[in-house]
Homo-oligomer: A and B are copies of this chain.
């Protein structure tokens, strides 16, 4: 990676600063300085600060939710699926702890785009997991549950600790190692909670 295109330099600088400081706190002049280019160049390659943000988010979304959503679509049992999803999700978040806050602020600014990007509507109506929940409860193998509640529960329990991580880390007896250990405990706990809820 000796030579890096100007476009890539800008994206790399912006990605770093956006994750570090958030959208509003990141100035175009900071990005230009970090990328060692002129401010105007940023507008030449990307039309605006927001478009640049979108371009970066686009890439992150391909890697992040894409992998998670594909787990939801696998043809494995509900329990295996939940375990795999929560484990994968937790590991991703552990190595990118700032992503949730980053995504959530974006969710507020442009919820429509967010919903379309991850295909939320399709997941909730035609997804393999949703159909599994319907079929298994029809067969009497599990309790009946609204798919949207099941998904909200699974994601809430996984993501929320990362959202409040800055607060947790200010506690005397809680450092990053202990936090990560907490997350590892939850990788077992969350599937148990979810399966407990639907087990007959």
What is the interface of chain A, defined by CB distance below 8 A to chain B? 22, 24, 101, 104-105, 107-109, 111-112, 114-115, 120-121, 124, 146, 148-149, 152-153, 155-157, 159-161, 163-164, 166-167, 169-172, 182, 185-186, 189, 192-193, 196-197
Considering the complex of A and B, which 7 residue pairs feature the smallest CB-CB distances, nearest first?
Answer: A156-B160, A111-B166, A111-B167, A156-B156, A196-B196, A112-B170, A115-B170
Q: A145 CB to closest chain B CB, in angstroms?
A: 9
A interface secondary structure, majority: helix
- Asked if A163 contacts B163 (CB within 8 A), the reply is yes
Q: How far is the CA of A148 from the CA of B200 in the complex (A)?
A: 28
26 sampled A-B residue pairs with Cβ under 8 A: A24-B24, A101-B108, A104-B104, A104-B105, A107-B163, A107-B166, A108-B166, A111-B169, A115-B167, A115-B171, A120-B171, A121-B171, A146-B185, A149-B182, A149-B189, A152-B160, A152-B161, A152-B164, A153-B157, A156-B159, A156-B161, A157-B157, A192-B197, A193-B193, A196-B196, A196-B197
